[in-house]
């Protein structure tokens, strides 16, 4: 009679799956770096895509970041909605900053605000900070990883109402990012009654 067989821990990850997860995370990070590179150049074309791949690959190779796992769910519809809304905001903010730049005698007032995010993961911090900083008129000054807080410099503020609006816009960016790539638990943090397609019983 043989003794009881040892069972692997419940949280044990098969080597192949662990390697696949690391490659998937690296591919997601590279794709995001390529996107940011193209947005910084202001055009998406083959030359910028190749340049983004080279720069992003060099960053991941020579300046490796702590492992950021992706435990969410990709929602194509929400991702397309995020991209469309982001493009509209990018154009609107660019026109606003251009108007300020050419308006004679106008001196815009800036302010620094703190925006605590509701999903304190490294991935959400990075994606939200990148998306917010790409919009003209807003600059990320610091990211407090412990408290999941973004410190932003915002341009052309006239009072508390403008500061509150800037905070709400930042939280709205976070909400749309979580809708696109967040998990169900993260979605519940940013929306009081999230509706997951295909989950209704």
At 20 the pLDDT is: 61
| Percent with pLDDT over 70 in the chain | 81
Q: Which two tokens stand for residue 17?
A: 């799956």
Q: Which of 43-52, 118-127, 190-199 has the lowest mean pLDDT?
A: 190-199
C-alpha to C-alpha distance for 34 and 177, rounded to whole angstroms: 18
Q: Which two tokens stand for residue 201?
A: 């019983």
Residues 179 and 80 sit within 8 Å (Cβ to Cβ)? no
At 63 the pLDDT is: 76
Residues shown for the chain: 201
Residues 183 and 71 sit within 8 Å (Cβ to Cβ)? yes
Nearest by Cα to 86 from 164, 174, 154: 174
C-alpha to C-alpha distance for 23 and 55, rounded to whole angstroms: 18
Q: Give 122 or 64, the one with higher predicted confidence.
A: 122
pLDDT band of residue 161 (cuts 50, 70, 90) is very high
Residue with tokens 């990018």, as numbered in its chain: 90
At 123 the pLDDT is: 85
Answer whether 0.75 is exceeded by the pTM.
Answer: no
pLDDT band of residue 8 (cuts 50, 70, 90) is very low
CA 99 vs CA 93, 104, 156, 162: distances in Å? 10, 10, 11, 18
pLDDT in tens, 101-151: 888 888 888 999 999 999 998 888 988 998 999 898 999 999 998 999 999
Give the chain's end-to-end CA distance (angstroms, integer): 47
Q: Which two tokens stand for residue 113?
A: 């605000």
Question: Within a 10 A sphere around the Cβ of 115, how many other Cβ atoms?
Answer: 20
Residues 57 and 99 sit within 8 Å (Cβ to Cβ)? no
């Amino acid at each position: 009679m043989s003794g009881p067989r040892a069972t692997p821990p419940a949280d044990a990850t098969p080597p192949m799956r662990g390697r696949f997860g690391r490659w998937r995370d690296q591919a997601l990070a590279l794709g995001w770096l390529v996107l940011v590179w193209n947005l910084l150049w202001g055009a998406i074309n083959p030359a910028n895509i190749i340049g983004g791949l080279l720069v992003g690959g060099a960053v991941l190779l020579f300046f490796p970041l702590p492992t950021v796992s992706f435990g969410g769910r990709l929602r194509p519809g929400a991702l397309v909605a995020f991209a469309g809304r982001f493009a509209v905001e990018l154009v609107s903010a660019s026109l606003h900053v251009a108007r300020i730049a050419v308006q004679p005698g106008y001196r815009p007032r800036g302010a620094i605000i703190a925006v605590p995010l509701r999903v304190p993961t490294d991935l959400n911090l990075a994606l939200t900070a990148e998306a917010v900083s790409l919009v003209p008129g807003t600059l990320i000054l610091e990211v407090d990883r412990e408290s999941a807080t973004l410190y932003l410099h915002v341009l052309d503020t006239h009072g508390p109402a403008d500061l509150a609006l800037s905070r709400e816009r930042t939280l709205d960016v976070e909400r749309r990012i979580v809708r696109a790539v967040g998990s169900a638990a993260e979605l519940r943090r940013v929306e009081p009654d999230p509706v997951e397609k295909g989950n209704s019983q």
